Amino acid sequence: METQMEQTIEDRITRAETLAKSDDVAGALVLAEGLVAQYPEDPQVWSLLAYLHARNGEYAAAVSDVSSAIAVNHLEPCLFFARGRYELNLGDWLAAERDFTKGLDLCDSYKDDYYRETLHFLRAEARLHLGRRSDALLDLSRVDNSFTFWTYRLVTKAALLAECVDQT
């Protein structure tokens, strides 16, 4: 019975994602809000709602949604990665740095490198905005030279390194 329920959740999440990809974010939000009401203890539905709010540029709502997911599962690095990204979009550099650090700690704990490079890169950007150039440079030393990522802007490792130099 539980597998069937999870499948139903997955089907509805997939449907909401499909609607969002076809630019029906409003329809996707209706589905996601229904899922959150029905399954408030499922971090996946909170993450979906956060993604949809972010698609609408509603980053404070996205942060709140991911915080709800973290309240349900505080051991998932991707949740701290996501919340940190939304905080970057809000210009909340300190909160973003804390979340990226927590994500890195969880990567260490699980010996899971999937998010590690991106977390170092994003934390470097947050630290750069906080005026912590040497910490940003240390994070960037752990990132491949060709690394590029979209935060609130398209950023390359070379661009962040140049910003570090400009701050001296």
Q: What is the pLDDT of residues 65-89, one digit of tens each?
A: 999 999 999 999 999 999 999 999 9
Nearest to 65 by CA among 77, 56, 54: 54
∠ CA 24-4-43, nearest 5°, is 55
The CATH superfamily assigned to 1-74 is: Tetratricopeptide repeat domain (1.25.40.10)
On the question of pLDDT at 5 being above 80, the answer is no
Tokens of 8: 């139903």
Domain limits, the chain: 1-74, 94-168
